[in-house]
C-alpha cells in the first residue's frame, strides 16, 4: 500500500498556543479517511498544512514521499492535490470558467479542458448550469460546482473541509451520495474533515478522531465506532449510554459489571476488580413488550424499564428509559407503532453481552 501523506512529530502553534500536536499520521492511496472532531479541534488547520498552504511550526510533512523545502516544490506538490472548502468560494464568473480554472492554471490545451470540464459537469449532474454566473447559483449547486472544480483536476489526494456543512439536510444527503458514488467509482484517495459523526460513519473506510489538536484514535470506521478508545471518543462518536461501574467477577470471558444496583454481563478482555466505563450504543438496545412472557433470547442482559421520553431523531425514534440506570434505544417508526410505546409505561430492554464495550477507567 502506497503512503501518500506521512506526518511526523507535527507541532503547530498560533502565538505560543499549540493548536496541533500530531505524532504520526498517514494517508494511503485509495483510502477514504474521515477526520472527525468538534469545532476548533484543529481539523481545518491540519488540512491546510497537508495542502501546503500553511507551514507547520515544527515537524515533517511528506507528501508523495517528498518533504518540500521551497515554494517551487510546494507548488508542484500542491498541483497533485485539490481542496474543497466549506464555502463554495467560487470565482465571479461562469460555471464553466470556475470548473476549468485549475486546468487553465496548468496550461492544458483548450480542447482537453473543454472535454474534461463537460465530462465532470455531467458526473455532478450540473451540465445545464454551464453558462450560469456563479453568483446566481443556489447553495447546493454552488457546492457541486466547487467539488467539480476540484475533481476535474483528478487530484491524487482530495481534501474536503466540511464541504456539506453549510447545506440543508436533504441537499446535503443528496450531494453526499452523488460525491461518494464518484469517489468510490474512481477509487479517489480522500481526506474528509467533518464534525458530523454520522457523515463519517456513512462515507469512510477509516476514521480518525481529533480533539484539541491531537489525533486520539484512528482505525477502521466500524471498529472505532464500536470500540472507542476512551470516554471522549465514545461520547463524541455518539455512544449514548455511558455507565460507570466495576467488574465484580469474571468467568469464561464473561464479565459481570455492577452498575448502581444492576448487573451487566459483558464480553471483555478486562480483568476482575477493574473500574470500567460501559458504552452501549442505542442501536444495540432491543425493546420487548412488557406484557409478554419474556421470550428466550441470546441477550444476556434484560431489564424492566420505564419509558421516560420518546423523540424523533431523523428516520429513527429515540427512546429514553430508566432501568436503574439511564438507557437509550433507537427504534424504527414501525416498531414504535407495533409496541405501542407510551411515556411512563414499562418495557423490557435487552442488550447482547457482545455489543457492550468496556473501557478501562484509570
Q: Report the interface residues with another protein, using CB under 8 A.
A: 48, 51, 53, 71, 75, 78-79, 81-83, 85, 87, 89, 91-93, 101-102, 105-106, 133-136, 149-150, 153, 159
What is the enclosing helix (H) or strand (E) of 278? strand 275-280
Query: Per the structure block, which three cell numbers stand in for 31?
Result: 483510502
Measured from the CB of residue 156, what is the shortest distance to another protein in angstroms? 13
Cβ closer to another protein: 160 or 208?
160
Strand order in the sheet with 316-322: 285-289, 346-351, 301-313, 316-322, 326-332
- Residue with C-alpha cell 481529533? 210
Rounded Cα distance, 217 and 233, in Å: 8
Instruction: CB nearer to another protein: give 53 or 294.
Output: 53
Assess contact for 269 and 353: CB atoms under 8 A: no
In the complex with another protein, the residue whose CB is nearer, 106 or 289, is 106
| Residue 78 Cβ vs another protein, minimum distance, rounded to whole Å | 6
Smallest distance, Å, CB 68 to another protein? 14
Q: What element of type H or E holds 84?
A: strand 81-84
Q: How far apart are the first and last CA of the chain?
A: 36
Residue 79 Cβ vs another protein, minimum distance, rounded to whole Å: 4
Closer residue to another protein in complex, CB, 83/323 = 83
Minimum CB separation from another protein for residue 157, in Å?
A: 11
Backbone phi, psi, residue 145, to 5° = -60, -45
DSSP state of 136: G
In the complex with another protein, the residue whose CB is nearer, 116 or 300, is: 116
Smallest distance, another protein to C-beta of residue 2, A: 22
Cα angle 157, 162, 167 (rounded to 5 degrees) comes to 130
User: For another protein, which is the closer residue by CB, 134 or 321?
Assistant: 134
Residue 245, CB half-sphere, CA atoms under 13 Å: how many? 27
Amino acid at each position: 500500500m502506497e503512503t501518500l501523506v506521512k506526518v511526523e512529530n507535527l507541532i503547530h502553534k498560533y502565538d505560543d498556543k499549540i493548536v496541533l500536536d500530531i505524532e504520526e499520521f498517514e494517508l494511503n492511496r485509495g483510502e477514504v479517511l474521515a477526520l472527525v472532531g468538534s469545532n476548533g479541534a484543529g481539523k481545518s488547520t491540519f488540512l491546510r498544512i497537508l495542502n501546503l498552504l500553511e507551514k507547520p511550526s515544527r515537524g515533517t510533512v511528506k507528501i508523495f514521499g517528498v518533504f518540500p523545502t521551497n515554494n517551487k516544490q510546494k507548488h508542484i506538490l500542491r498541483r497533485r492535490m485539490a481542496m474543497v472548502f466549506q464555502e463554495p468560494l467560487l470565482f465571479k464568473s461562469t460555471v464553466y470558467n470556475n470548473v476549468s480554472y485549475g486546468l487553465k492554471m496548468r496550461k492544458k490545451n483548450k480542447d482537453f479542458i473543454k472535454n474534461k470540464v463537460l465530462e465532470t459537469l455531467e458526473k455532478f449532474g450540473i451540465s445545464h448550469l454551464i453558462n450560469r454566473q456563479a453568483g446566481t447559483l443556489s447553495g447546493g449547486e454552488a457546492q457541486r460546482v466547487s467539488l467539480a472544480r476540484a475533481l476535474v483536476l483528478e487530484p491524487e489526494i482530495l481534501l474536503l473541509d466540511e464541504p456539506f456543512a453549510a447545506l440543508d439536510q436533504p441537499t446535503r444527503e443528496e450531494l453526499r451520495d452523488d460525491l461518494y458514488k464518484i469517489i468510490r467509482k474512481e477509487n479517489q484517495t480522500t481526506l474528509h474533515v467533518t464534525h458530523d459523526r454520522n457523515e463519517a460513519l456513512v462515507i469512510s473506510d477509516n476514521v480518525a478522531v481529533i480533539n484539541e489538536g491531537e489525533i486520539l484514535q484512528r482505525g477502521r470506521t466500524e471498529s472505532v465506532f464500536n470500540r472507542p478508545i476512551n470516554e471522549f471518543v465514545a461520547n463524541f462518536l455518539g455512544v449514548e449510554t455511558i455507565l460507570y461501574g466495576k467488574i465484580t467477577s469474571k468467568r469464561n470471558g464473561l464479565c459481570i459489571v455492577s452498575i448502581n444496583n444492576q448487573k451487566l454481563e459483558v464480553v471483555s478482555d478486562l480483568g476482575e476488580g477493574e473500574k470500567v466505563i460501559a458504552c452501549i450504543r442505542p442501536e444495540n438496545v432491543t425493546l420487548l413488550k412488557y406484557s409478554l412472557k419474556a421470550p428466550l433470547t441470546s441477550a444476556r442482559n434484560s431489564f424492566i424499564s420505564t419509558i421516560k421520553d420518546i423523540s424523533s431523531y431523523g428516520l429513527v425514534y429515540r427512546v429514553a428509559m430508566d432501568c436503574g440506570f439511564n438507557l437509550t434505544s433507537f427504534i424504527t417508526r414501525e416498531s414504535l407503532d407495533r409496541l405501542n410505546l407510551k411515556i411512563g409505561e414499562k418495557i423490557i430492554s435487552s442488550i447482547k453481552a457482545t455489543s457492550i464495550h468496556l473501557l478501562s477507567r484509570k
